[in-house]
Amino acid sequence: MPIYCVTYDLKAPGRDYKDLYRVLQSYGSYARPTESQWLLNTSESITTVRDKIRNVLDGNDVLLVITAGKGAAGYNVPANVWNWIEGQF
């Protein structure tokens, strides 16, 4: 299954992230390396993932979904996230 890297910027000040987090966590197998980046392991297409997330965003928010490739490098990434990444690749 592909690993998708999801990043976003919610533009409205004080925005409630509850609906967005609910959608992202619904994928079951995920990691959250940074505040606005998630890695998802799913058999869904990249456009399906984008559309599900887009449904809970405002019109001025920004969303990017990219298929992740092999290999990763980082700095100060939490150990649980590295463990998840290592288990996927």
Instruction: Extract the tokens encoding 22.
Output: 């609910």
Q: How far apart are CA 5 and CA 88, in angstroms?
A: 13
Q: How far is CA 6 from CA 12, 55, 89, in A?
A: 19, 14, 17
Condensed to tens digits (0 to 9), the pLDDT of residues 42-89 reads: 999 999 999 999 999 999 999 999 999 888 888 898 999 989 988 887
17: amino acid identity, one letter: Y
Q: How far apart are CA 75 and CA 68, in angstroms?
A: 18
Q: What is the DSSP letter of 53?
A: H
| SS3 category, 57 | coil
Question: Domain total for the chain?
Answer: 1
Condensed to tens digits (0 to 9), the pLDDT of residues 3-38 reads: 999 999 998 888 888 999 999 999 989 999 999 999
Q: Which helix (H) or strand (E) holds 48?
A: helix 46-54
Domain that holds residue 84: 3-88
Helix axes 18-25, 46-54, angle to 10 degrees: 160
Q: Looking at residue 26, which CATH number applies to its domain?
A: 3.30.70.240
Q: What is the pLDDT of residue 15?
A: 81
